[in-house]
Amino acid sequence: MLFITSIIASILTIIFIKLSFAVIGFRRKNKVSLGSGGHDDLERAIRAQGNFAEYVPFGIILIACLELNGAPWVLVAIPGITLIVGRLIHAKALNVSPPDFGKRVLGMKFTFATLFALVFLNLGWSIYKLVG
């Protein structure tokens, strides 16, 4: 069962839906159906949503792999929480005018650190299970 992954994926999906609604709202406001039409607010919303969609699937897949392979719940939950935190910080940093570059970098640091940790956790746990 993927109880922890289900919770993490659900929270991340709620965030993605919120980011998607922001894009829809700015498209309506600016009367733009494709692209950003040169509107800075819409461009930021598009990139916040797109960036989220580019990174989160890898995190969810790696979290699910850990949980499916029987890793202790804490090794599954902590990276999930840090991925959520990183993605929230990054999205909030992009959706202000002007974008908060420092917080955007912080959000990406959380995200990359989480992805790297998940890679090493998965490799380490898999080797541990194969050898042990």
Residues 12-29: pLDDT tens digits? 999 999 999 999 999 999
Distance CA 64, CA 116 (A): 15
In the structure, what pLDDT confidence band is assigned to residue 132 with cuts at 50, 70 and 90?
confident
Instruction: Tally the domains of the chain.
Output: 1
CATH, residue 120: 1.20.120.550
In the structure, what pLDDT confidence band is assigned to residue 46 with cuts at 50, 70 and 90?
very high
Q: By residue range, what is the domain housing residue 16?
A: 3-131
- State which of 30-34, 56-60, 128-132 shows the largest mean pLDDT: 56-60
pLDDT of amino acid 96: 82
Distance CA 5, CA 67 (A): 7
Residue 99 has pLDDT above 90, yes or no: no
Residue 88 has pLDDT above 90, yes or no: yes
pLDDT of amino acid 90: 94
